[in-house]
């Protein structure tokens, strides 16, 4: 099943790449900018977590040691609601090719599945994505980019990207959803203790 999931990720990445390119005048993402990995819950399914574990097991020992130290610190800390992702090493994702769905979509303007409202990436408040067309006071999008590009929202909510339709089309099963820290606790707590 993991190969079918990888096929899905490949197709999804191609679509996301087009979305990011279409929104280029509003996007400030670049290597080393890792705000989206510094404070979050990182909800993910069992299938997403298994793919990350495959990548983790292939890491160079030096990187793996750093990830292990991050995981140990996270599991020993009492503040676990919002936390830095332990796979972040020197501001770079150590499991980039295997990262979860939520990591792949972060940074784009999206629609909230439940409310249908537009959802800004939080980094707009840091002066990053979409900040050139966003009024912080009214919390609304203001205008197009100078080249006329409109800020567009996309249907990339996690529930859409891991829907039963996707499972049927790719013959995969995402399984249960948990915060990353809870998956890590299941997998690594015995090692940390
Ligand atoms: S898995 Fe990678 S991209 Fe996702 S939050 Fe962790 S470090 Fe960031």
For ligand 1, atom 1, name the residue with the nearest CA: 99
State in Å: Cα 123 to ligand 1 middle.
Answer: 15
pLDDT per position as a tens digit, 6-21? 999 999 999 999 999 9
Q: What is the share, in percent, of the chain residues with pLDDT greater than 90? A: 79
pLDDT bin (cut points 50, 70, 90) of residue 117 is confident
Residue 103 in this model has a pLDDT that exceeds 90: yes
Nearest protein CA to atom 3 of ligand 1, as residue: 103
What does the block give as tokens for 132? 């050139």
Residue boundaries of the structural domains of the chain? 2-192
Q: What is the pLDDT of residue 115?
A: 85
Which of the residue ranges 65-69, 152-156, 169-173 would you say has the lowest mean pLDDT?
A: 152-156
Q: What is the DSSP string of 73-114?
A: HHHH-S--SSB--TTEETTEETTGGG--HHHHHTTS-EE-TT
* Centroid of ligand 1 to alpha carbon of 137 (angstroms): 30
DSSP 120-183: --GGGGGT-TTGGGEETTTTEE----TT-PPP--B---HHHHT-HHHHHHHT-----EEEHHHH
pLDDT at 138 over 80: yes
pLDDT (0 to 100) of residue 13 = 98
pLDDT value of residue 137: 87
Q: Which residues line ligand 1 (CB under 6 A)?
A: 37, 42, 85, 87-88, 93, 95, 99-100, 103
Note the pLDDT of residue 180. 97
Ramachandran quadrant class, 171 (left: phi over 0; alpha: psi -120 to 50; beta: rest): left
């Amino acid at each position: 099943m993991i190969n079918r999931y990888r096929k899905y990720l490949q197709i999804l990445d191609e679509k996301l790449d087009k979305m990011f390119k279409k929104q280029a005048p509003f996007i400030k993402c670049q290597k080393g900018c890792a705000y989206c990995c510094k404070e979050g819950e990182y909800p993910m399914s069992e299938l997403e977590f298994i793919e990350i574990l495959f990548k983790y097991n292939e890491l160079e020992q030096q990187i793996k040691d750093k990830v292990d130290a991050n995981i140990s610190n996270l599991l020993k800390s009492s503040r676990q609601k919002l936390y830095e992702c332990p796979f972040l090493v020197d501001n770079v994702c150590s499991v980039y090719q295997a990262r979860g769905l939520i990591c792949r979509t972060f940074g784009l303007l999206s629609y909230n599945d439940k409310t249908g409202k537009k959802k800004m990436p939080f980094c707009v408040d840091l002066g990053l994505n979409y900040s050139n067309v966003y009024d912080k006071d009214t919390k609304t999008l203001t205008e197009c980019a100078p080249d006329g590009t409109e800020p567009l929202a996309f249907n990339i909510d996690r529930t859409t990207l891991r829907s039963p339709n996707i499972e049927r089309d790719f013959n995969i099963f995402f399984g249960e959803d948990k915060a990353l820290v809870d998956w890590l606790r299941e997998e690594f707590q015995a090692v940390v203790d």
